[in-house]
Structure formats: C-alpha cells, structure tokens
Amino acid sequence: MSERDYYEVLSVDRGAGEGEIKSAYRKLAMKFHPDRNPGDSSAEDKFKEATEAYEILKDPEKRQRYDQFGHAAFNGQGGGGGFQSGFGGFDINEALRSFMRDFGGGGGGFQDMFGGGRARSNRGEDLRIRMSLTLEEIAMGVTKQLKVNRLGACQSCSGSGAAAGTSAETCRQCGGAGQVRTVTRTFIGSIQQVRPCPECQGSGKTITSPCPECHGEGRAKISTDTEVEIPAGVSEGNYLTVEGKGNFGPHSGTPGDLQVVIEEKEHDHFVRQGDDIIYQKMISFATAALGTKLEVPTLRGSETIKIPAGVQSGKAIKLRGEGIPHLRSYGRGDQIVLITVWTPTKLSSADKKLLEQLEQSESFQPPKHNKSFLQKLRESLGV
C-alpha cells in the first residue's frame, strides 16, 4: 500500500470536494493508464497509487477515517472494500476494475475486461465434502478412503463429448485458444478485452455430432474412491485440498479440486481445549482422604496416576504430552485430569451410622477459611 499522502498523490488540498477529487484522479489515471504506457512498470505503479488514493478519498466514511488516522486506518485490513489482494496494496487488475467502475461508462459488461490471460473456462468445479473424525483419529493422524460422487469423464466418448466415430474439431472462431479478444474504443483509447469464446464456451473445440450419453459435455456421474491422509492435530473447520479430485472439466478440460473439511466428533469422556484434553475423574471421599493409585484412559491407551492422600475436589493433575499433537510444530498438548470428589446421594442405615460417627471426628472438620482458594479466586477475578 502506498505510504504517500493520498491528497499529495492526487495533488488536491485537504478540503477538496468530491468533484475535484474525481477530476484530479481522472487526469492521473488517463496519463498513467497501462494501455497508454505498455510495459512501463513505474506508470503502472502510479496508476495503482492514484487509484488507491481515489478509492479512499471518494468514500466519505473512508476519507474521514483516513483524515483521522492516516494510513494506519487501513493497515492490516487491506484498506477495506476490494483491496483484499494484499501484498503491496491491490493488484493492477483490481485497480483497472475500480477505474472502469467509475469511468468505464459501461455496466457490468466491463467487469471482466482486464482478465487477460485467464485460464480457459472448461475447468471442472471444486467439490467440498465433510469428514467426521474421532479425537483418537485426530490424535494419531489417519488415512481414510472416501467415496466421492462426482462428474467424471464420460465413458462412451472418453470425455471428448463427440459421438463414437467422430471427433471434436478445433473451434473456428477462436482457433482452439478458447478465448477471443475484442477491442473496445473508449475515451482513453482502445482497450483489449479477453473473454471465453462464445462459440465453444472456452473449450477451444466444437462438436458437430455430440455423444448421446453426455449430450456433448464429456462428463457423466461417477463414484470414485479417494484416499485422504489426515495429519495428526487437525481441528474442526480445517480443510485440505486434494488436487484434481473434483469434477472433471467439460470437453476434456482440467479437473477441479476436492476439499475435505474436518469435523470433530464429540467424545464420550474427553473434551478438547486447544491441543489439551480434559478428563474428569470422580473419586469417593474415602479415596480422597486415603489416597490411591488408579488408571485413567488416555487417547492412546491408559496411564496410572497417583491420587495423593488428602486431595481436594477440583485438583488438576497434568499428564504431559498425552494431548493432541500440535499441527504446525513439534510436541503435543497435555491431558488434564480434573479430580472431583463424589458425594454419595443414597445411604444405607449402616453407612449413615458410620458417617455420623466420622462427623464427630475432629479431622473431619473443614478449616474455616481456605487461603489458597481465596488467592486463586482473587487472581482469576483480577482483584
């Protein structure tokens, strides 16, 4: 993004009105328009810079933000509408589009004007499927076989779209290029326009006798098995792209991609928090008082943990490295075992007698205050 002052770029003063800004920009845009300065990258930069300044200053809201905060108002958010292409402000195509929007004099027809060199339009569609994984699968990484229903090459014509015994011919209108160039005259001179060939819809080929199975499109519904390797550590919403496994392109075009979107299945007794796994372990108050060793499940099997005598409810015991592997770095999260002391809800009369006896014991009396609890509470409340 330009660091020069936008008013300076357009050579207008800070109080300039809308009309003044527009005409200042128009003058610069005409002077530096790439069609008038072919191959001149400094003219291209000036054109982009002027367009960027104009896009901000013509919009009262953006202009106000710019007046108040300068370039910082748009840093890190790509300058708002239409500038998302990042790296060094916006690219020349975007600048040209934005110029044509206000000065092209035409409607939507001009939108695609500067898409020169675009790929042919016979690329197949991308497909998106969801894949549900258990926490165990996420922890280990997993290879899955997927059945994907998609459009593949038509078997009768092997994707060409031409009936048996005939073949597709090179399109006469575009000579097989799949796109046509037209020249439009505007007030800044002639502008070259590239669009998919209307005769062959961008495929570069015409079919005189279409395949009866696919009606000349060259595609048919198929189901394919695709193997997908999921690395350990993925999360809900992550996706991976399998190139070329989307729909086949019409008329032997390029296939689209397959996007696999990860979903996380709810686990019966683990809850994921980032790359940590939380597990609640309930113990009786007798166990809490006496202490013991016991086994808890982990994502990879089980671990023995030591419950110290006199443990309090709410104690967290950390099993290092028993969580989910970090996706983008080494190491793993932890498993946190939350100890909860279970209070019985049904008592036999014998139980009751025993407890009433214990209740008399001095060691069963809780302290009046719990300093460490109060300290933790203060910390968590920030007081």
The SS3 of residue 233 is coil
Q: Are 139 and 299 in contact (CB under 8 A)?
A: yes
Near Zn ion by CB under 5 A: residue from 53, 151, 168, 174? 174
129 sits near Zn ion (criterion: CB under 5 A):
no
Near Zn ion by CB under 5 A: residue from 53, 153, 157, 324? 157
Nearer to Zn ion (CB atom), residue 62 or residue 150 = 150
Nearer to Zn ion (CB atom), residue 46 or residue 251 = 251
10 sits near Zn ion (criterion: CB under 5 A):
no
How far is the C-alpha of 217 from the C-alpha of 23, rounded, in Å?
49
Counting residues that bind Zn ion (by CB under 5 A) gives 12
197 sits near Zn ion (criterion: CB under 5 A):
yes
Among positions 212-231, residues that touch Zn ion (CB under 5 A) are 213-214
Partners of residue 298 on adjacent β-strands = 301
CB of 193 to Zn ion, least distance (A): 15
155 sits near Zn ion (criterion: CB under 5 A):
no
CB of 224 to Zn ion, least distance (A): 17
| Other Cβ atoms closer than 10 A to 127 | 19
Span from 4-12, 192-200, 224-232, 310-318 in contact with Zn ion (CB under 5 A):
192-200
Instruction: Compute the Cα dihedral for 239, 244, 245, 250 and give only its sign.
Output: positive
How do beta strands 169-170 and 127-133 pair? unpaired
Nearer to Zn ion (CB atom), residue 213 or residue 303 = 213
CB of 95 to Zn ion, least distance (A): 30
166 sits near Zn ion (criterion: CB under 5 A):
no
How do beta strands 239-242 and 205-206 pair? unpaired
The DSSP code for 12 is -
How far is the C-alpha of 180 from the C-alpha of 63, rounded, in Å?
40
Tokens of 364: 């069963």
Instruction: Give the sheet arrangement for strand 258-264, strand by strand.
Output: 127-133, 258-264, 239-242
Nearer to Zn ion (CB atom), residue 211 or residue 234 = 211
Least Cα distance to 50 among 25, 83, 67, 27 occurs for: 25
Near Zn ion by CB under 5 A: residue from 23, 85, 132, 173? 173
57 sits near Zn ion (criterion: CB under 5 A):
no
Please report, as ranges, the residues that interact with Zn ion according to CB under 5 A. 154, 156-157, 171, 173-174, 197, 199-200, 211, 213-214
